[in-house]
Chains A and B, each alone.
Chain A
Amino acid sequence: MRNKRLTRSSVFIAVLLLLNSCEYIFFKPIPSCSAPGTFEYLWSKVDEQYAYFDVKNVDWDAVYSRYSAKIRDDISEDSLFFYLGSMLNELRDGHVNLFSEFNVSRFDITLLGPQNLDYRLVKEHYLGNDFYTTGPFQHNFIAGGRAAYIRYASFSSGFTNDNIRFILDRYKDTGGLVLDLRQNGGGYLSGVYQLLSHFITTETPVYKTCIKSGPDHNAFSDTEPVYVAPFDTLLAYSAPVAVLIDRGSYSASSMFSLAAIALDNMFLVGDTSGGGLGMPNGGQLPNGWTYRFSITRTLSLDDNNYENGVPPDILAFLDPADKALGLDTVIEAALDSLLGP
């Protein structure tokens, strides 16, 4: 009787232990972390999720044929990184990167055009020595007090509504603002909406957006307008605003530029922006490296896709002759429009 009970208990415990370690029976195996396995994984992820094959005019199957021939099992890590990074750069997109512990691949969008900003020139001849620093903004009166210049170098630098209110209140009697987003490489999208909210009096559609919804290259969600609500309808700044951009105005700065097109009191001056209107998604490869690429589209309200750059209303480039005279050609073009020649 005692032996029978002991046997029953032993079987009971053995079954329980078996049940308690069996998750791997239900779990799927991890894909191969070999060089070809990693290449296949990355190529497929981009194939299924990247949002701009048509805009970039890239034949991704042809890219596969070209690069798969170079990926062998015995390839070094450095070479694998080089080929995967080069494959991603075929997309010509600043929001596409491959990250490893020894390198980061990138497509430098700023090199597509001249750096249309000489900050020393701006400091010497526009901001002066007595400029104000309010949060991440540097600002001062220009053109004899008839306009104001505001420099915002990165949307990664957060600000408060009080920062903006102080600045707009200081310049409320000027004929207009020059908001300089040249070489502003982007950052937090929330900053775009926050900044815009001080220049509108009603809830305003600023652009449209959609997101990938399936593996097909053209599979997207419905295109929906994006609205920005006013911060304070009574305090909104209503005088004209010239937004300065160049090829270094990327991502959130391009988003702001796109939104500026939709607002009556804003216009763009300078070079075409860098683009980067898609929101990048991140992930990891079987060998542990990580990546990111764009998975949303942002369109203007009239359905134009400016992923490759938002064009300015007034095209202006720094002129060495103007520079010699202490003039920033782009700021001067903006002032001409704001105040008249």
Chain B
Amino acid sequence: MKYFRSCRIAAILLIASFSAAEEFPKLSRHYLHLDMGAAYGNFRDTGTSPLRYQGFTAASTAGFLSANPEFRWGLRTDIFYTAGIAANAYLLHSFYCASDVFYLRRIPPLSAKGLDFFAGPALSGLTAFTINDAYQNAMVNVDIFSGLFLRSQLQYAFKRPEWGKKLAFLRLQRPARDYVLAFRLDIPVLRLNIRPEFPYVLNGTQTDIEKIFSRHFFAGGLQLQSRLGLTRFLKNGNAIETAYVWEMISTGRRDIYLLESARHALVFAFYFRLN
């Protein structure tokens, strides 16, 4: 009850901040956003195993970003795959497909010259497929997580000055460049989970699809997402970013079988300016 009350208050605050938005400034820059990265991930679903599977993750993202000095909004879709090993023998394949849409506004009281703080709501959905043939009839599982997040982004813009030096016959030169160092953190306001029920497996002795796929639906758990990135703006208006992404999910006490998952990714992102 307490959980739902705090969710309601947070949701009202988020909606209020959204509706207080002023008229959009006209000079927004639109970007097509493509990420590629590699990472180390871990996964544990106590419905099938108490062990934590750890392994290599490959990820890619496509999205759209519209940004100007006062606000930014965007949407993106992530696909990532992890091959995890536990007990030196058992291999787990995990496929995640996530998407989110967000709207952030600059918060002037928390911003200073060069240092900008943005905050706003982000709606996120994630579908996770896991396959491990060691679990026999429980070898395939699908989990669905969705949530409303409070997204905050602190960014520091700086310029590296032009630099030049003459060494004998060589003339070394480095042009001035614009950078943004940004940290983004998503904190859940409301999370909804669709997970296996007590027996964990689907009732394959049934022929009625609805009865085979009955699932456990509950609110709660913890999901944190953060991204620390350094973006370099190019002369042609495009940008490239090197980022460290950390994401974790824990389905919490309300789940029948606790699921815990995390990944640490080194990501290279390309922002192609569209206007």
Please, how many angstroms separate the alpha-carbon atoms of A21 and B264 in the complex?
Answer: 8
Instruction: Tell me if A288 and B203 are in contact (CB < 8 A).
Output: no
Are A26 and B137 closer than 8 Å at their CB atoms? no
Q: Is the CB of A19 within 8 A of B135?
A: no
Q: How many residues of B contact A (CB 8 A)?
A: 46
Total inter-chain residue pairs, C-beta < 8 Å: 131
A320 and B201 CA atoms in complex are apart in Å by 45
- Inter-chain contact A101/B89, CB cutoff 8 Å: yes
Contact with B along A16-49 (1 / 0, CB 8 A): 1001110100111011000000000100000001
**A30 partner, pick from B50, B89, B205, B264, beta carbons under 8 A:** B50
**A105 interface hit (Cβ, 8 Å):** no
Does B4 sit within 8 A of A, measured CB to CB? Answer: no
Contact (Cβ within 8 A) B248 A282: no
A214→B135 CA distance, assembly (Å): 20
Give Cα A295–Cα B200 distance, bound, in whole angstroms.
9
- Any A CB within 8 A of the CB of B228: yes
Q: In whole angstroms, what is the CA distance A292 to B264 when docked?
A: 33
Question: Are the C-beta atoms of B156 and A9 separated by less than 8 Å?
Answer: yes
Cβ–Cβ < 8 Å partners of B135 in chain A: 282-284, 290
List of A residues within 8 angstroms of B86 by Cβ: 284, 288
What 1/0 mask marks residues of chain A from 273 to 290 whose CB sits below 8 Å from any chain B CB?
A: 000000111111111101
A12 to B87, CA, bound (A): 38
Q: Does A55 contact B (CB under 8 A)?
A: no
Q: Which of A56-64, A141-149, A170-178, A221-229 contacts B (4 or more CB under 8 A)?
A: A221-229
* Binding stretch for chain B, among A70-78, A81-89, A121-129, A205-213: A205-213
Does B226 lie at the interface of the complex (its beta carbon under 8 Å from any beta carbon of A)? Answer: yes
1/0 per position for B39-61, CB-CB distance to A under 8 A? 00010100111111000000000
Q: Which residue of B lies closest to A213 (CB)?
A: B198
Which of A20, A193, A280, A284 is the one whose CB lies under 8 Å from B51?
A284
* Chain B residues engaging chain A, CB cutoff 8 angstroms: 42, 44, 47-52, 86-90, 134-139, 154, 156, 183, 185, 197-201, 203-208, 211, 222, 226, 228, 244, 246, 248, 250, 258, 260, 262, 264
> Could you list some 10 contacts between A and B, CB below 8 A?
A12-B154, A19-B185, A20-B264, A27-B44, A189-B204, A224-B206, A255-B205, A281-B138, A282-B137, A284-B90
